[in-house]
Structure 1
């Protein structure tokens, strides 16, 4: 049976009104984590939810 480790990354939203994030920072962070074996599972809340100040990215990595 496969086993997984999980990680939550907080992505601050620059503007609540526009939902803009620092895309370069996010891309660099995800690329670094991907090199370590982490895979994105989901993003919460969805990008369409403009009421939240932050996004949370949930990642998983298989462990032995």
Structure 2
């Protein structure tokens, strides 16, 4: 039976009135994880009210190496 390990990355938005996500930084981090065998399996945003996102959680998994 396969065993997996998991990792959660927190991508925080920048700015108060119009929060933005630095997508180039997130993309770079995701590419590094992908090269190390991690696969993105889910994404969840955390709402701070009125539909505004404060941070985005990215969930990764890979086959366990232990």
TM-score category by the smaller chain? 0.7 to 0.9
Higher share of residues assigned strand: 2
Count of equivalent residues: 62
Which position in structure 1 is the counterpart of 2:62? 61
RMSD: 2.1
Q: Give the deviation of 1:19 after TM superposition.
A: 4.8
Higher-Rg structure is 2
The unaligned stretches of length 5 or more in structure 1 are none
Contact 1:12 1:53 in 2 (8 A): yes
Contact 1:16 1:51 in 2 (8 A): no
For 1:43 and 1:17, how far apart are their aligned partners in 2?
A: 23
For 1:16 and 1:55, how far apart are their aligned partners in 2?
A: 15
- Scaled by the length of structure 2, the TM-score of the pair is 0.78
- Scaled by the length of structure 1, the TM-score of the pair is 0.80
